[in-house]
Amino acid sequence: MKMTLANSYTQRVISAIHTLRDRFAESVRIEELALVAQMSPSAFHRHFKAMTSMTPLQYQKRLRLLEARRLIVTDATNVETTAFQVGYECPPQFSREYSRMYGAPPRRDVSALRTMAS
């Protein structure tokens, strides 16, 4: 019985993760994700963090930064345009978070990636 209950929570959190993945560039509220998962916001937050080791906001930030890196490398879009495309309202904030995740500012990181690929 306990395993079934755990799987039920898992499936519901996965549904919310799919919503977050589909709408990562939008501002999505915890209450909305909790509703998708059919849980209270506090229970959802607890189960989400237990499954992903991140808060929903951290997870969304990671999705945004992964997509930003992909866009900059494959589409050769500029940093400011990419920041807005993935949901950031402030390009300097985007650059700071990108640097934290990848260890270098976007332009330098992408330049290094392109050098490694050639």
Delimit the domains of the chain by residue range. 2-53, 61-117
What is the structure's pLDDT at 7?
A: 61
Question: Which H or E run includes 23?
Answer: none
The half-sphere exposure of 38 on its side-chain side, counting CA atoms within 13 A, is 7
- Helix 106-117 to helix 91-102 angle (10° resolution) is 50
- Ranges of H-type helices in the chain: 2-22, 30-37, 41-52, 56-75, 79-85, 91-102, 106-117
* Angle made by CA atoms 38, 54, 80, in degrees to the nearest 5: 105
The pair of structure tokens assigned to 67 is 């997509």
Please identify every stretch of the chain with a pLDDT value under 70, giving residue numbers as ranges.
Answer: 1-7, 117-118
pTM of the model: 0.85
